[in-house]
Amino acid sequence: MNIRNYKSLCKLCDKILLSKKSTFFTHSITSLHVLKEHPVLLNDYFKFIKLKKIKKKFIIKKFFSYFANFFLESKNYEINKNVTKKCDVLLFSNLINLSNANKVNDFYYGDIEKKLNTSGIKTRTVLRNFTDKNSKFINKIITKNKILLTKRTNFLNEILIIFRLISEYFYLKKNFYIPKIPTLKNSFLSFLSLRSMISNLRLFYQIEELIQKVRPKLIIIPFEGHAWERLIIKMLNHLNLNILICSYQFTVTTKYQHSLFRLLKKGYNPDIIFTSGKVTKKQFEINYNCPVKILGSNKFKKLVKAKPKVYKNSNFLIIPEAFYSEIDYLLIFTLKIAKLLPDKNFIFRCHPMINVDEIKNNVSLPKNVQFSFKSLSEDINACKFVLFRGSAAVFETVMHGLKPIYLDIKHEPNINPFKDCFSNKYNVVNPEDIFPIIREYKVKKIENKIIKYANEYFTKIDINQIKSLL
């Protein structure tokens, strides 16, 4: 990939959003918020990114799903009657797996909510539903302190959303010039590409109603650089309810991460930024003029320095991201090196958002390759090496002593979370590259700069950072 073209795209999108002509609805267009140089995310922008095309059946399924939700889903949300409506802190999160619906600890925030409640601070967590189950089913098993957003709003709002999508399409065509960028798809900012406005604006209307009922003193929003995050911030500023708006960076960033680290027009930026650790704190302080505080992360793992990890075996742990193309990359490569190393075992661990059974049923695995259904800690204890690309889980594996190996794909951006502190000698491009790396790791430990980087990226959660703001 040409990074120059990527930067031109970022510059173009920012020019539109920062223009005097851009509206609230312009900001609701997901594709104008370029996240990072990940090949999966750039697939909608550039022609040369060759990934699996979305099947027509999938599009038809989404179309019918929209109308089914309209008639079958309840409106907006449901607040548990046994819990006080008002709260001090309102946290926004995502329900990515049905198994997380009845858990106390949140996938993003860990036990932050529990710790705040123990301290006498009333909290509620708002969940966006990314499962295939409807809200009626989930609300039967969800923990009482959670508020589940449904996949529809009221009839009038749904009609308004469709109208705004159509009008914004013509508004863009009339008011903004799109220069030619090499390999940029003609479908960029097409009518179909604006469909993400529907879910973003629906969320806006749902949260607007919810906020006025719950009336929190402080709100924490996950911060990745998405359009919907900025819409919520703008809406809260517009309501003028003296609510403190905090954005929380909870996951890894890449070398050319974009929308997360750029300011938008007045009203679209957070009051305070919470970070997962020291590394990203420095990055935010360079690009934002608001207070930046280290909240820490549930991904933090204490580094044990007493003695080095004792390896009972030389198994490999493979940790792809929650993208099916990334799973394909790593799975195909794993099968190749498993053939070269028949005496080694390979544990393939999918992201919680992925249906493992769906993948497992469509591939034939050799005896030394298996899909994991165990906890991450169990998989770590069973392995010596970790093969990765962009997964945040690699930090935890390194802190436990696993030796990292990065799969570098030709003609694609490097998405290694360790960025510049990771030596190229631990990169594999071809299956045969695994042999010199194994030999290297036999005589050398994990480089100290990698350990240090991992130790500073995700730090211990400090709820005092929240309590001090109330």
109 assigned to some structural domain: no
Question: Using one digit for the tens of pLDDT, what is the confidence trace for 326-377?
Answer: 999 999 999 999 999 999 999 999 998 888 888 888 888 999 999 999 999 8
- Residue 240: pLDDT over 90: no
Residue 91: strand pairing partners: 125, 220
Residues 161, 277 within the same domain: yes
Residues 166, 190 within the same domain: yes
Structure confidence at residue 169 (pLDDT): 94
- CB-side neighbour CA atoms (13 Å) of 72: 11
Return d(Cα 219, Cα 246) in angstroms, integer. 6
Confidence of residue 26 (pLDDT cuts 50, 70, 90): very high
Residue 35: strand pairing partners: none
89 assigned to some structural domain: no
Burial class (CB in 10 A: 0-12, 13-18, 19+), 271: middle
Return d(Cα 97, Cα 107) in angstroms, integer. 9
Q: Write down the mean pLDDT value for the chain.
A: 88
131 assigned to some structural domain: no
439 assigned to some structural domain: yes
Structure confidence at residue 53 (pLDDT): 47
CATH of the domain at 432: 3.40.50.2000
Structure confidence at residue 308 (pLDDT): 45
Residues 236, 361 within the same domain: no
Q: Global pTM?
A: 0.88
126 assigned to some structural domain: no
Residues 285, 322 within the same domain: no
For the beta carbon of residue 264, count every other beta carbon within 10 angstroms.
17
> Do 72 and 134 touch, CB atoms closer than 8 A?
yes
- Residue 50: pLDDT over 80: no
Question: Using one digit for the tens of pLDDT, what is the confidence trace for 385-397?
Answer: 999 999 999 999 9
Rg (CA), the chain: 23
Q: Where are the alpha helices (DSSP H) in 176-276?
A: 196-214, 227-239
373 assigned to some structural domain: yes
Residues 335, 273 within the same domain: no
Instruction: Write out the E strands in 159-298.
Output: 218-222, 244-248, 272-275, 292-294
Residues 295, 399 within the same domain: no
Residues 339, 437 within the same domain: yes
66 assigned to some structural domain: yes
Structure confidence at residue 80 (pLDDT): 58
Domain total in the chain = 2
Return d(Cα 50, Cα 48) in angstroms, integer. 6
Residues 267, 380 within the same domain: no
Residues 285, 359 within the same domain: no
- For residue 439, give every residue at least 6 positions away whose Cβ sits within 8 Å of its Cβ, in sequence order, or none: none
Question: Using one digit for the tens of pLDDT, what is the confidence trace for 183-209?
Answer: 898 888 988 889 889 999 999 999 998
Return d(Cα 151, Cα 413) in angstroms, integer. 35
Structure confidence at residue 84 (pLDDT): 63
79 assigned to some structural domain: no
Confidence of residue 464 (pLDDT cuts 50, 70, 90): very high
Residues 271, 408 within the same domain: no
> Do 294 and 300 touch, CB atoms closer than 8 A?
no
Encoding tokens for residue 179? 């220069």
Structural domain containing residue 419: 316-444
- Residue 77: pLDDT over 70: no
Q: What are phi and psi of 124, to 5 degrees?
A: -140, 150
Residues 294, 321 within the same domain: no
